[in-house]
Chain A
Amino acid sequence: MPPPETGQPMLRAQDVHKRYRHEEVLKGIDLEVASGEVLCLIGPSGSGKSTFLRCINHLERIDAGRLYVDGALVGYRERGDCLYEMHPREICRQRADIGMVFQRFNLFPHLTVLQNVIEAPLKVRREAKAEAVERARALLARVGLADKADAYPSRLSGGQQQRVAIARALAMRPKLMLFDEPTSALDPELVGEVLGVMRGLTEDGMTMIVVTHEMAFARDAADTVAFMDAGVIVESGPPREILSHPRHERTRGFLARVIGAHQ
């Protein structure tokens, strides 16, 4: 059930364009994600899903259009009809409110699990250490890894590492969570534990944008599914509609390939 609209959307993308040299990877993305909504972005590799996700927290700079997170323009300040790029400090402040989970976990290998989780709260938010540690332990317990606090990431399985990465992102109390193919680098038997943690988040009302190839997850955890191909959003809507009764030929072709490969 999509939650009721409450004022402004958490994410609003207007005609977002991104090009690398001569190749245009995003050709005008328009999208809204309401607060508390879970959006799954699906589509073939190279369709621009991950690039779009990286634009939302300004890891990539957009070339045209506008991205608003919680009503604030991402990365720029608008004055008259000009967009001025923000000071890095302001961009950091924006990013701190947006959690991101990567395909390859990207835990900090020289820090223990606990240190991974408290690093940004201590150094970016300047929280008191006792408080940060307490919350980190609670988050680790929540992702089922309370006993791994003092282990180094290299001692953990892929699924455990990804769960730590989720706890690390949550430690910043983000308004919005971005997941970039969070289960694609995992062995099949470890996918479930990560998706389980993500399902828990959706139940807590976290706003999430998930780039994924897990159609079952999209079907039962997402409020909205958007299908991307060649830099545009071809269609979007409730999961049942998009996954079972796609209107576009390209969506049908993609789903046939993905579901065919999974069975």
Chain B
Amino acid sequence: MTRVVPLRRPWLWLGSAVVAIAAALLALSIYRNPNIQHGVILQYQFAPAILAGLRTTVVLALLAALIGMVLGVLLAVMRLSASPVLRLASGFYTWLLRGTPLLVQILIWGNLALLFEHIGPFRTNDLLTPFVASVIALGLNEGAYMAEIVRAGIIAVDRGQNDAALALGMSHPLALRRIILPQALRVIMPPAGNQFISLLKATSLVSVIAGGDMLTAAQNISSANLHTIELMLVATFWYLVLTTIASLGQHYIERRLGKSGVGIHATS
């Protein structure tokens, strides 16, 4: 029997060793660092205040994603409409909200009472609690990004699909809902998943208006006991848990969408 001798790759081994040792040293230096009290991390990892903040973070992200999705479809359809006014309005919205920092938008919504003391018969501060202001700021911002993602998805669908749907007597909205959007979803899902993961992390920005999210909770605790790093590590852990779950969910949905084995242009 002839023996097969694989090519020797010493540099590959050396590179791997360097990376592994560096990683081990980094972990060790954090673990043995006298400035970190592991007991504090353990104490707060499941503290009720942190878990309440975690819940708020999740609710914030889900609400903002929902608003963003609905708004994104609306803005994308406006962007592709026959009316120049609607196209321009949609373009302006996207330009404004993508062109300014989210942090600034959150601060504006959180301090809207300084601009309008009353909204209708209500006092602005009663309506726009920090949580509501956070949902609005994140949702509106998300909408601007989703608009571009949805638009790209819609124009990726072959024009013949729309022709075929209309020729069968479908109305434009029905064709969009039943024929165009389901196909656009395959193009929309991967960037929308990324967008949602960004959103999960962006919720932390609402801590500047005391939005009640997990970072707000962690900062409230650390400003009292001065264990800043420990509480940031507590938050880090939970953020990683959330983004990992979101990634897995994204992977699962993409696989399900791909299951029918259908390409967008499969009919051509």
Among B167, B179, B262, B268, max chain A CB count under 10 A is at B167
B contact residues around A59 at 8 Å (CB):
163, 166-167
Choice from B167, B174, B179, B260 contacting A57 with Cβ under 8 Å: B167
With both beta carbons as reference points, the residue of chain A lying nearest to B257 in the complex is identified as A110
A contact residues around B163 at 8 Å (CB):
54, 59, 100, 102, 106
B contact residues around A54 at 8 Å (CB):
163
CB distance from B10 to the nearest CB of A (A): 47
A120–B170 contact, CB under 8 A? yes
Q: Can you add 19 more A-B contacts, CB < 8 Å, to A153-B266, A172-B168? A: A57-B167, A89-B171, A92-B169, A92-B170, A95-B167, A95-B169, A97-B169, A100-B164, A102-B160, A106-B267, A108-B161, A109-B183, A109-B266, A109-B267, A110-B262, A119-B168, A123-B174, A124-B168, A124-B174
Whether A93 sits at the interface, judged by CB under 8 Å, is yes
Whether B40 sits at the interface, judged by CB under 8 Å, is no
Choice from A92, A108, A125 contacting B179 with Cβ under 8 Å: A108
Give the residues from 156 to 184 in chain B that come closer than 8 angstroms, CB to CB, to chain A: 158, 160-161, 163-172, 174, 178-179, 182-183
CB distance from A217 to the nearest CB of B (A): 22
Whether A96 sits at the interface, judged by CB under 8 Å, is yes
Whether A104 sits at the interface, judged by CB under 8 Å, is yes
A-B contact count (CB 8 A): 94
A contact residues around B266 at 8 Å (CB):
109, 152-154
A contact residues around B179 at 8 Å (CB):
108, 119
CB distance from B171 to the nearest CB of A (A): 5
Q: How far is the CA of A99 from the CA of B169 in the complex (A)?
A: 9
Given A110-B262, A119-B178, answer yes or no on A104-B267 (Cβ-Cβ < 8 Å).
yes
Give the residues from 73 to 107 in chain A that come closer than 8 angstroms, CB to CB, to chain B: 88-89, 92-93, 95-100, 102, 104-107
B262–A104 contact, CB under 8 A? no
Whether B264 sits at the interface, judged by CB under 8 Å, is yes
| Interface size band for B | 20 to 34
A contact residues around B167 at 8 Å (CB):
57, 59, 95, 98-100, 102, 169
Among A89, A96, A106, A109, max chain B CB count under 10 A is at A109
A154–B267 contact, CB under 8 A? yes
Whether A155 sits at the interface, judged by CB under 8 Å, is yes
Q: How far is the CA of A54 from the CA of B166 in the complex (A)?
A: 11
Choice from B160, B164, B172, B263 contacting A154 with Cβ under 8 Å: B263
Q: State the 3 A-B residue pairs at the shortest beta-carbon distance, nearest first.
A: A96-B169, A154-B266, A106-B164
CB distance from B174 to the nearest CB of A (A): 6
With both beta carbons as reference points, the residue of chain A lying nearest to B265 in the complex is identified as A109
Q: How far is the CA of A161 from the CA of B168 in the complex (A)?
A: 17
B contact residues around A161 at 8 Å (CB):
267
Whether B15 sits at the interface, judged by CB under 8 Å, is no
A contact residues around B165 at 8 Å (CB):
108
B166–A105 contact, CB under 8 A? no
Q: How far is the CA of A90 from the CA of B172 in the complex (A)?
A: 13
Q: How far is the CA of A161 from the CA of B179 in the complex (A)?
A: 17
Given A104-B267, A109-B263, A153-B266, answer yes or no on A123-B160 (Cβ-Cβ < 8 Å).
no
